[in-house]
Amino acid sequence: MADASENPGVKPLSFMEKLSPIVSTYQPQTSASKRISNADPSLVIIASWTDAQDVHIAKYIAKYQQYYPTAPILLIQSTSKLFLNPSTIGPAVRPAVSVIRAVVSPQSPSESSAQILLHIFSNGGSSSMAELYKEYAATATAGETTQMPLHITIFDSSPSIYRIERAMAFLSVGLSPIQRIVAAPFFYLLASAYAALIFLGVWEDMQVVWGDRHNDPDTVLETRRTYIYSDTDKLVGAIDVEAHAGRAEKAGFTVRRERFRGSEHVSHARKDETRYWDIVRGTWDEKYSGK
């Protein structure tokens, strides 16, 4: 099967098998049985940001193909339609459950090595994975585990909580400067109304719900995690990411923080590609201090 960086004339993700509108898989030609070592993950899961373009997703997949050539890849995409209708996310990500159970073997309680490398992008990816954890448990049959197998997690520009200014930035993505100016009053009213409904308890802040699920030891079976974020991200603030990391530590998770300077939302790899992928690989290889 073709590498993600090859054949620029075809669709960027055409090399993947599409299981549903948002779930796709890639199976490398080199099988796990032919591995020189067991250094590669048994599975890489990429939970992309909301409405991410295929061409951008393909760049991350190409890197994983380069660094872990024997690892199958499971892609879970996020869309605005799903993100704004949280009850629809679970059924949408459900096809991913059978892939994970088929690829990753069950572990005994004494095993401590992660089998899955999970890469979460933004709140879209956070919502996908939080709901996948729930689906994984809900669909378990007799003899199957309710927790996803042991994994390490990379949080890129994620997670956060609902804030009016962040919501306005999200709604403005893809608009021209003139369109943003014209739409700003409407976006502010919409974002403020949603904030009021959360404050009054009419609606839940689903970003908080999803974030809490990532920090629940009864839900998440994880060896370690790294947060990659920025001080200039307009959609997800560093203060919210660092707060989530702090709560994760209190819950018993092993946490690493990697703060970039001057990079935009889900664009930290573009800012410093070498540092970014050294962080990802180092997290998988345990070559960091856990600071």
For the stretch 130-179, pLDDT in tens is: 999 999 999 999 888 899 999 999 999 999 988 877 777 777 777 788 87
Tell me: pLDDT of 33 over 60. Answer: no
Residues 60-89 have a mean pLDDT of 96
Specify the pTM. Answer: 0.89
For the stretch 90-130, pLDDT in tens is: 999 999 999 999 998 765 555 668 899 999 999 999 999 99
Nearest to 77 by CA among 116, 125, 11: 125
Residue-level pLDDT at 36? 45
Taking the C-alpha atoms of residue 79 and residue 77, their distance in angstroms, rounded to an integer, is: 7
Taking the C-alpha atoms of residue 23 and residue 45, their distance in angstroms, rounded to an integer, is: 10
pLDDT band for position 67 (50/70/90)? Answer: very high
pLDDT band for position 289 (50/70/90)? Answer: very low
Residues 176-204 have a mean pLDDT of 79
pLDDT band for position 9 (50/70/90)? Answer: low
Nearest to 69 by CA among 1, 148, 119: 1
